[in-house]
């Protein structure tokens, strides 16, 4: 067997023979199958990415919707049919309906609770009252699954898998609504999306890989056709330019398609990463604005109302003192106190205010020309009695707020529900800039005859919350643009402000009428906030500098590099194609010469090893043939362990000379019939080291020197010369160790007769796992069970 013939040469020959045996048609079929398999794998990977991105967007939006709920009003609901008599229920329902209108991709928006017996029930949903799909408060959700119950149990938001229930086949996101103060689970917000919309979105991710695969299949078929056709041409036609460069053309076509596909996928992934980065960045800005709005409600308007409710009477000076700090912290909010004045009591009311130091005071409204006009007859009026800061709002004293837009209806709504309400955006008559404002009313009920009965409230300039918006400029331009919308009583959004105006950026022409005005809708973050009985929407979209800070042009570099590499390799392949015939003939000739030389060298080396093994046997006639028999058993064990032929050759040669180091041991010690002294045994133990020294500088394709050096090492470290253990001992040495012991015990020695094969096998069996490799021992036992025997 040639010494240098390894698995690589055998494998290459097998592959070459297999390829040569394939017909051109078979190659095309295999190529098409591989391309389709690749396309399927890419498609599944893209579908998985689509599901992940869809779920992330839905979960993020669910959390945004949940963050905008009024938890105080929600906590007042009982989750029973009695909620229909509570204004909080109808206000929340109206806001959910408005959110549903804002997000047409949603099928349902609802709040659910859980009873003590584990049943889930509905608090409220976004369906119109009386519609077939509406769930009344307290209705049991009979289609609840373990996924739904898990959200209530773990209090963690999650996107549920596709589920079919009484309302259809849907994908749902469930977000717990938790009281921040007590940690109590108030409800779970659910948002449903039609499963068809979900699958359309997810499957759209697979379009590119599918198209790419079909293009490559078509290219493979056409390429195979032309290459097969070329094989049937005459030598003269094969020498034409197109035929000579056919492989280069095919490679260029495949390289171009692959480059376009990879750059497109990279662009998609980079765009997705960019969207996620924007969502994280925008969430910080949106949260700041939302928190500022809620703080104004909870710690300013509500606190002012409690101040009035806790006082039997609040004078103008006391009002000024209380709201003075509020006025300084935000000059775009004006604080007021109004009382309901009947038509019969208007004169006495005006006279009372005049006596307080306002001689020109009267109850008025804006006329057609914008000038102050005395109010016409009405059953009741709601004139501003106190207002701060007074210096900048003195001309608003006496303004009948009930005369502004929808304010009269809102005042009555607040009085009837005893809740805080805001008006639609209106223009304040004295405002020369004609900016939009909205007015918030909080009813104050008199507890005694001397107490006030009226409303505290605030007039909010459209930019009142703008100071809470953190603008992060980059060279003067923001990366995030925020807009604040109020949803009017008719359901139409009204733009209150946009941070684009502050940075001199362009405000889109459709921003006044639609919150979905930004052209790249995937980058829009919309957060609804239920505030003052109204629905506000905070909208975030990329600013002028976002594309600079987060570019998505890596795909261009990949495309350029791919095209460059493809063109370069195509030119190289074309050049090599012209020389292929000459090179193949020259390589064939040189290969044959090299094979012959290697066979000669390998035979010479193998013969030299055999001679050396024979020399050892001559010095130790009692163990004559020991190395040969050990080699026989080692090869049998190696074959049982799955060694390739090339590895078996190395194992056999290592075993043939594993005791070659005994050449340096005196013959008297080797041939003595008595038990060796400690000194003599120490000399014997030097033979592995001596053997390695003989072969350490010879470059075998196998670890021959290490196998010689380690064949007396043991698994537990009790061997010699180094006492290494476990996997530190190479497998070839572990095999030779077992074969050496079996052959030595079963053979005659000068100091004892043969102990027999069974004793030898019992010895390795008892040392299995401690001294000897368990797998090697098992393989040795198997080869003897199968009839192995040493040759004479």
User: Residue 630 domain-assigned?
Assistant: yes
Indicate whether 212 belongs to any domain. Answer: no
Using CA atoms, how far residue 723 sits from 131, 470, 476, 665, in Å, is: 85, 69, 72, 21
Question: Residue 346: its pLDDT value, please?
Answer: 92
DSSP H or E run through 287: helix 246-296
- DSSP 8-state symbol, 452: -
* Helix H or strand E encompassing 492: none
- Residue 790 domain flag: no
* CB distance 39 to 46 below 8 Å: no
Q: Would you list the DSSP string of 198-238? A: HHHHHHHTTHHHHHHHHHHHHHHHHHHHHHHHHHTS-HHHH
Q: Are residues 627 and 543 in the same domain?
A: no
> SS3 for 170?
strand
The helix/strand/coil state of 717 is coil
Under DSSP, is residue 657 helix (H, G, I), strand (E, B) or coil?
coil
CA atoms within 13 A on the CB side of 23: 6
Domain match, 524 and 626 both: no
What's 533's domain CATH number? 3.30.450.350
- Report how many domains make up the chain: 3
In a domain, 65, yes or no: no
Residue 380 gets which letter from DSSP?
A: E
Neighbours of 346 (CB within 10 A): 20
Measure the CA–CA gap between 183 and 204, rounded to whole angstroms. 41
**Across-strand partners of 366?**
372
The answer as to whether 18 is a domain residue is: no
539, 629: one domain: no
Same-domain pairing of 526 and 646: no
Domain range for residue 502? 285-550
Supply the pLDDT for residue 472.
47
What's the DSSP call for residue 140?
Answer: B
CA dist., res. 142 & res. 150, Å (int):
16
- Directed axis angle between helix 554-619 and helix 626-640, to 10°? 150
Rounded Cα gap, residues 329 and 671, in angstroms = 108
Q: What pLDDT is recorded for position 561?
A: 84
User: In this structure, are 662 and 538 located in the same domain?
Assistant: no
* CB-neighbour burial class of residue 92 (10 A; exposed 0-12, middle 13-18, buried 19+): buried
Q: Do 310 and 182 belong to one domain?
A: no
Where on the phi/psi map is residue 445: left (φ > 0), alpha (ψ -120 to 50), or beta?
beta
Residues 559, 567: contact at Cβ < 8 Å?
no
Q: Give pTM, 2 decimals.
A: 0.66
Q: Note the pLDDT of residue 61.
A: 92
Residue after which a domain boundary falls, among 145, 172, 197: 197
Please state, in angstroms and rounded to a whole number, the distance separating the CA atoms of residues 319 and 327. Answer: 12
Confirm if 257 and 212 have CB atoms less than 8 A apart.
yes
Long-range contact pairs involving 41-44 (C-beta distance under 8 Å, separation at least 24): 42/209, 42/212, 42/213, 42/265, 43/206, 43/209, 43/210, 43/213, 44/206
The CA distance from 734 to 137, in Å, is 77
User: Do 451 and 339 have their domain in common?
Assistant: yes
Residues 532 and 651 in one domain: no
- Where does a domain end: 550, 566, 599? 550
> Does residue 257 fall inside a structural domain?
no
Picking from 251, 280, 626, the residue whose alpha carbon sits closest to that of residue 472 is 280
Domain with residue 674: its CATH number is 1.10.3210.10
Which of 170, 166, 86 minimizes the C-alpha distance to 123?
Answer: 86
Clarify whether residues 436 and 540 are in a common domain.
yes
Contacts of 300 (CB under 8 A, 6+ apart): 326, 333, 458
Q: What SS3 state is found at 689?
A: helix
The 10 Å CB-count burial string (b at 16+, else e) for 750-760 is eeeeebebeeb
Question: Is the domain of 192 the same as that of 304?
Answer: no
Q: Give the DSSP per-residue string, 500-526.
A: TTTTTPPPPTTTTT-S--SS-GGG-EE
Same-domain status, 543 and 632: no
104 contact partners, CB below 8 Å, separation of at least 6:
none
Check whether residue 334 and residue 439 sit in a common domain. yes
**164-189 residue pLDDT tens:** 988 999 999 999 999 988 889 999 99
Q: In 68-165, which ranges are continuous DSSP H helix?
A: 71-75, 87-102, 146-154
Contacts of 178 (CB under 8 A, 6+ apart): 155, 184, 185, 186
* Closest alpha carbon to 333 in 300, 374, 372: 300
Out of 550, 568, 597, pick the residue that ends a domain: 550
pLDDT for residue 448? 39
Q: Is residue 646 part of a domain?
A: yes
Q: Which of 410, 406, 488, 424 is nearest to 455 (CA)?
A: 410
The list of the chain residues with pLDDT below 70 reads 1-24, 230, 234-245, 446-452, 468-477, 501-510, 512, 518-522, 573-574, 576-624, 664-676, 680, 682, 748-752, 792
β-partners of residue 185 are 178
In the chain, % helix, strand, coil (3-state, to 5) comes to 55, 15, 30
Q: Is residue 409 part of a domain?
A: yes
Kindly state the DSSP code that residue 162 receives in the 8-state scheme.
P
């Amino acid at each position: 067997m040639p010494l240098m013939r390894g698995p690589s040469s055998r494998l290459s020959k097998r592959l070459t023979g297999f390829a040569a045996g394939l017909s051109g048609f078979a190659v095309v079929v295999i190529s098409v199958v591989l391309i389709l398999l690749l396309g399927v794998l890419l498609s599944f990977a893209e579908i998985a990415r689509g599901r992940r991105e869809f779920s992330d967007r839905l979960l993020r939006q669910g959390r945004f919707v949940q963050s905008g709920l009024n938890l105080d009003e929600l906590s007042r609901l009982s989750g029973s049919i009695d909620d229909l008599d509570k204004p909080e229920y109808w206000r929340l329902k109206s806001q959910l309906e408005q959110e549903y209108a804002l997000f047409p991709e949603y099928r349902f928006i609802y709040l659910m609770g859980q009873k003590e017996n584990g049943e889930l029930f509905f608090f409220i949903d976004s369906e119109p009252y009386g519609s077939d799909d509406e769930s009344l408060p307290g209705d049991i959700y009979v289609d609840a699954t373990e996924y739904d119950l898990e959200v209530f149990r773990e209090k963690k938001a999650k996107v549920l898998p596709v589920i079919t229930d009484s309302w259809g086949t849907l994908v749902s996101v469930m977000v717990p609504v938790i009281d921040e103060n007590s940690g109590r689970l108030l409800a779970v917000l659910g948002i449903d999306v039609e499963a068809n919309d979900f699958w359309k979105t997810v499957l759209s991710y697979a379009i590119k890989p599918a198209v790419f695969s079909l293009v490559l299949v078509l290219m493979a078929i056409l390429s195979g056709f032309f290459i097969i056709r070329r094989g049937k041409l005459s030598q003269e036609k094969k020498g034409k330019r197109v035929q000579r460069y056919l492989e280069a053309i095919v490679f260029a076509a495949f390289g171009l398609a692959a480059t376009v596909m990879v750059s497109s996928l990279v662009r998609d992934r980079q765009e997705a990463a960019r969207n996620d980065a924007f969502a994280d960045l925008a969430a910080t800005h949106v949260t700041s604005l939302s928190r500022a709005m809620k703080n104004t409600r909870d710690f300013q308007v509500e606190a002012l109302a409690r101040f009035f409710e806790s006082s039997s009477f609040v004078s103008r000076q006391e009002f000024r003192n209380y709201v003075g700090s509020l006025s300084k912290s935000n000059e775009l909010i004006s604080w007021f106190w109004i009382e309901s004045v009947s038509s019969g009591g208007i004169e006495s009311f005006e006279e009372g205010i005049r006596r307080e130091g306002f001689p020109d005071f009267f109850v008025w409204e804006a006329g057609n020309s914008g000038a102050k006009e005395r109010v016409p007859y009405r059953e009741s009026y709601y004139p501003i009695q106190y207002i701060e800061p007074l210096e900048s709002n003195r001309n608003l004293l006496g303004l009948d707020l009930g005369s502004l837009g929808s304010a009269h209806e809102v005042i009555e709504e607040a009085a009837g529900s005893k809740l805080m309400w805001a008006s639609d955006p209106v223009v304040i008559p004295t405002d020369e800039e004609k900016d939009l404002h909205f007015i918030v009313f909080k009813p104050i009920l008199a507890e005694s005859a001397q107490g006030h009965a009226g409303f505290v409230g605030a007039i909010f300039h459209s930019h009142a919350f703008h100071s809470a918006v953190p603008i992060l400029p980059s060279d003067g331009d923001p990366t995030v643009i925020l807009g604040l919308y109020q949803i009017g009583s008719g359901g139409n959004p009204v733009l209150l402000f946009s941070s684009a105006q502050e940075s001199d950026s362009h405000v889109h022409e459709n921003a006044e009428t639609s919150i979905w005005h930004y052209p790249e809708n995937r980058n829009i973050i919309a957060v609804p906030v239920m505030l003052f009985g109204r629905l506000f929407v905070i909208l975030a979209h990329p600013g002028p500098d976002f594309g600079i800070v987060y570019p998505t042009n890596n795909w261009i570099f990949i495309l350029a590099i791919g095209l460059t590499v493809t063109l370069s390799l195509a030119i190289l392949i074309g050049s090599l194609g012209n020389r292929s015939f000459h090179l193949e003939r020259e390589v064939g000739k040189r290969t044959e010469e090299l094979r012959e030389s290697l066979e000669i060298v390998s035979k010479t080396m193998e013969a030299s090893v055999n001679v050396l093994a024979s020399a050892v046997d001559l010095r130790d006639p009692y163990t004559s043939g020991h190395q040969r028999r050990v080699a026989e058993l080692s090869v049998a064990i190696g074959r049982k362990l799955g060694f390739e032929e090339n590895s078996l050759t190395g194992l056999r040669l290592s075993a043939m000379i594993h005791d070659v180091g005994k050449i340096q041991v005196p013959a008297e010690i080797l041939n003595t019939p008595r038990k060796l002294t400690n000194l003599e045994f120490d000399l014997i133990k030097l033979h592995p080291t001596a053997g390695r020294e003989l072969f350490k500088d010879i470059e075998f394709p196998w670890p021959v020197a290490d196998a010689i050096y380690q064949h007396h090492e043991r698994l537990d470290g009790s061997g010699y010369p180094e006492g290494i253990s476990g996997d530190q001992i190479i497998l070839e040495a572990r095999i030779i160790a077992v074969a050496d012991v079996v052959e030595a015990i079963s053979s005659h020695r000068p100091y004892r007769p043969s102990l027999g094969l069974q004793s030898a096998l019992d010895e390795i069996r008892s040392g299995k796992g401690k001294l000897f490799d368990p797998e090697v021992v098992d393989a040795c036992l198997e080869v003897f069970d199968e009839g192995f025997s040493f040759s004479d």
